[in-house]
Amino acid sequence: MAAIGPLLPCRKYRINYFNTVNVHNYDADISNYTRKARGWMNGTVTVNSQFWVGEWGIYGIRYNDLSLALSLIKNLIRGSQLGDNCIYGSHLFCL
């Protein structure tokens, strides 16, 4: 699994053995950064790699908060769409 983050784009790195790209995204709407990261993947060896969000969620809001629950559901729907928002897997972070 190749972790990419603020150091993207990774075009200068010719990594031929990774089949997964993993990012962390704590935005309330994860689709903007997901599209941006997928854009960075275009034209690189990672263009067809699985895209994972290794950590996402909200820091500092309790699990029983309605706005958190709605935000998580919306992001699950966003990540399940085909195209630049598609996420193969994720790990929810909520503390």
Which range has highest mean pLDDT (24-28, 47-51, 76-80)?
Answer: 76-80
In whole angstroms, what is the distance from residue 58 CA to residue 10 CA? 27
The secondary structure of residue 81, as a DSSP letter, is S
pLDDT band at 16, cuts 50/70/90?
low
pLDDT band at 8, cuts 50/70/90?
very low
| Count of C-beta atoms within a 10 Å radius of residue 84 | 15
Q: Give the model's pLDDT for residue 55.
A: 85
Helix (H, G, I), strand (E, B) or coil at 4: coil
Question: What global pTM score does this model have?
Answer: 0.71
Share of the chain above pLDDT 90, in %: 17
